[in-house]
């Protein structure tokens, strides 16, 4: 049964990464927690679309929502997810160095700094 649960877990991870917006969200959250409005801005989608993507990522077990008063902050469920994404990105760049050219876009922090 262990193989089945491993397969299911990796399939959920693959499903999350299969959408470019969800991938951008996960890459942005590697830099730290963020609010949905900020994530929507970075990803270039509406807040409603971001809400749907965050629900999917929560369902996959990759992000958690932390209520903060009237707002909700999102973060990676475990720091190892961020490290795994970094390792996966490094592997993709080894396999095809020309593939990505900064496609993940700026982090939330750098986007805020650009606005200032």
Q: Over 80: is that where the pLDDT of 62 sits?
A: yes
The pTM of the whole model exceeds 0.95? no
> In whole angstroms, what is the distance from residue 10 CA to residue 88 CA?
13
Cβ atoms of 13 and 60 within 8 Å: the answer is: yes
Task: Spell out the residues 6+ positions from residue 51 whose beta carbon is closer than 8 angstroms to its own.
Answer: 36
pLDDT digits over 11-55, tens only? 988 999 999 999 999 999 999 999 999 999 999 999 999 999 999
Name all domains of the chain by residue range, CATH numbers in brackets: 2-115 (1.10.10.10)
Report the percent of the chain where pLDDT is more than 90.
66
């Amino acid at each position: 049964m262990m193989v089945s649960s491993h397969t299911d877990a990796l399939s959920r991870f693959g499903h999350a990464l299969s959408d470019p917006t969800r991938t951008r969200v996960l890459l942005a959250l590697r830099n730290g927690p963020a609010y949905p409005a900020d994530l929507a801005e970075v990803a270039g989608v509406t807040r409603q679309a971001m809400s749907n993507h965050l629900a999917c990522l929560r369902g996959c077990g990759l992000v958690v929502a932390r209520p903060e008063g009237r707002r909700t902050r999102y973060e990676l469920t475990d720091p190892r997810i961020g490290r795994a994404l970094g390792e996966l990105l490094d592997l993709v760049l080894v396999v095809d160095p020309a593939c990505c050219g900064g496609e993940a876009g700026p982090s939330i922090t750098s986007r805020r700094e650009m606005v200032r």
